[in-house]
Structure 1
Amino acid sequence: MSHIITRWWWIRHAPVTVANGRLYGQRNLPADISDKKIFSHLAEIIPKPSIWITTPLQRTTQTANAIANAAGINPEYKIESAFIEQNFGDWQGMTWEELRKSKNNGFHRFWVAPANESAPSGESFIDVMKRVNPAIDKLTKTYKGKNIISVAHGGSIRAAIAHALKLSPENALGIMIENCSLSIIDHIKGPSKGEEWRINTINSYPHFNTQEKLP
C-alpha cells in the first residue's frame, strides 16, 4: 500500500474594499474581484478536478467564482461554517483607531488581541482553532487522497497552518496571510498507522518579488 496524500489548497478571499478601514470579521461584505490577473494565475495552478469548499460569507464564494470562471470550470461548492472568519463581536465595524482607544492603546504584537482574548460578544483565536481543526480532520478523512480547494479567511488559514505544524495559537498569529494568497498543505497517510502533515507553501502570491531587498 502506497502513501495517500490529501492536498489542501488554502486560498484567502479577495480584498474587501468597502469596509472603509473598519474591522469586518464576520460581516458579510463583498470582495473586490476586479484583479483578473491574479485569478487567471490561480486558475493555472489549481488542480482539476478538486473538492471546493467555501464559507457562509459571500466574499469566499465570489473569490471562488472568479477563479473557477478563469479556469473555465463550474464546480459545486461545499459550504463549511467551521472555516468562517473570527467573530470579532463588538469590535466589528470599528476603525482601527477606535479599537485602539477602546483597548487603551494595548494592541497585540501582531494582531488586535492575544490568541486567548475574546472580543466582547465575539470569540478568540483559540476559539477559531477549536472549530477549524476538527473540521479539517473530518474533511481530510472524507476526501482522502483528493485535492481540496478551500477559499477561506486569514484566521481559518492561520489555524490550518498551526494545526499542521502543531503551533501554539499565539505563535500562529505571527503568520501573514495576504488576500488571494495560496497556502498548500499535505496530509500524508503511510502504509501503516503513520500519518503526518507537510507544508508545501505558505502565503504564496504572484506579485511577491523575492528579488527585492528586505528592509
Structure 2
Amino acid sequence: MTPTRWWLVRHAPVVNPDKLIYGQHDIDCDVADAAVFRAVAEFLPANALWLQSPLGRTRRTAAAIRAAGRDGDEPIDEPRLMEQHFGDWQGRVRAEILARQPEQYRRFWLAPADERAPNGESFVDVVDRVRLALDDWSERAAGRDVVAVMHGGPIRAALAIALDLSPLRALSFHTETVSVTRIDRYPDGAWGVGFVNATPGRPSTPG
C-alpha cells in the first residue's frame, strides 16, 4: 500500500505594490531569500516527479528551489494546478472593483466558495479541476513522490479533497508562501495528510 506522496509547495511572495487582484494574471514574485529556498530544497524528497502551475511565479519558485540543490525530473506544466480565475477582475485594482461593482464584489466575498467573479471561476470549480489533476497524476506516478509548485487556492482545494471537507471549510486553511503541505494518495483511493503549512528555514516549522 505504498502511497503517492504529494508535496504541495506554495509559490514565493508576489510583488504587488498596486494591490491588484491577480488570480491567473501573471505577476512577479520575490525569490531573493536564498536561505529559505535552501531549507525547502533540503526538506523536499530527492528523485521526485515535479509539476508546476504554468504561471511565472510558480515557475520561478520551482527554479529557485531546484537551483538551491534539489534534484528531480524537469518540472511539467500542469494547468489544472493554476490559481482561481477571477475573470474580468484579474489585473485590476481591488479598490477600483469595490468602487465600481460594490454589490457583486461583496456578494463574492460573502459566499467565496460558490460565487464567481464575472467570467471567472468559483472555488468549487477549483476543487473540481484540482481533483482531476490529483487523480490523474496519482495514477501516472503511483508510489512516487510528486512535488507540485502551485498556489494557495489549489492547495486548499487539495486539502478539501484529502480531508473530505466542504469547499467552504477548506477556505479556512492558511498557506504561507514557500510553505510545504503533504498529502498521500493510497492505491485504494484513500487519502492521508502528513502535515500542513510547514515552513522550512523559519521558526514556525513543525518539529
What is the TM-score when the length of structure 1 is the normalising length?
Answer: 0.87
Per-residue deviation at 1:94?
A: 3.1
CA distance in 1 between partners of 2:120 and 2:168 (Å): 18
**For the Cα contact (< 8 Å) 1:19–1:29, is it kept in 2?**
no
**Bigger mean CA deviation after superposition, 74-83 or 136-145:** 74-83
Cα distance, 1:74 vs structure 2: 6.6
CA distance 1:134–1:74, change in 2 (3 Å): closer
Name segments (4+ residues, structure 1) moved above 4 Å. Answer: none
- Amino-acid identity (%): 40
Separation in 2 of the partners of 1:25 and 1:112?
Answer: 18
CA contact (8 A) 1:164 1:199 kept: yes
Which of 182, 185, 196 is the aligned partner of 2:183?
Answer: 185
Could you tell me whether the CA contact under 8 Å between 2:47 and 2:72 is conserved in 1? no
Question: 1:186, CA displacement in angstroms?
Answer: 0.9
On the 8 A contact 1:68/1:75 being kept in 2, the answer is no
CA distance in 2, matches of 1:183, 1:210: 11
Gaps of at least 5 residues in structure 1 are none
SS in 1 for 2:156: helix
State the partner residue of 2:96: 98
- The superposition leaves residues 168-200 of structure 1 with CA deviations (integer Å, 9 ceiling, x where unpaired) of 1111111111211110011123xxxx4411111
Q: Which residue of 1 aligns with 2:153?
A: 155
8 A contact 2:198–2:205 mirrored in 1 = no
3-state SS of 1:138 partner: helix
- Does the CA-based 8 Å contact 1:100-1:107 persist in structure 2? no
Question: Which ranges of structure 2 fall in alignment gaps of 5 or more residues?
Answer: none
Greater share of residues in helix? 2
Aligned to 1:130: 128
Normalising to structure 2: TM-score of the pair?
Answer: 0.90
**Does the C-alpha gap of structure 1 residues 86 and 19 become closer, same or farther in structure 2, counting only changes over 3 Å?**
farther
Aligned residues: CA RMSD:
2.1
Q: CA separation of 1:199/1:98 partners in 2, compared to 1, >3 Å: closer, same or farther?
A: same
